Amino acid sequence: MEIDAETPIPCQVSYDIEKCELIIKLVNVSADKQDVHFIFNGNC
């Protein structure tokens, strides 16, 4: 999927406070590539 900087990407954002993990779920993307996880180390 080609995306330029001006293209809005529909997504859902959630945060797991216990795991210090930010989860961005892309909408309308194939199931195996739709979740992006950011794990924060240290104090969150």
pTM for the predicted model, two decimal places:
0.54
Which pLDDT belongs to residue 23?
87
* pLDDT of 42 strictly over 70: no
| 16-32 confidence digits (pLDDT tens) | 888 888 888 887 766 66
And the tokens for 1? 């999927």
- β-sheet bridge partners, residue 24: 13, 36
Nearest-angstrom CA–CA distance, 24 and 39: 12
Residue 36 pLDDT = 78
Which pLDDT value is given to residue 10?
83
DSSP helix/strand/coil, 31: helix
Distance (Å) of CA 6 to CA 9, 13, 22, 36: 9, 20, 23, 20
The residue-averaged pLDDT of 1-23 equals 80
Are 40 and 25 contacting, i.e. CB atoms less than 8 angstroms apart? Answer: no
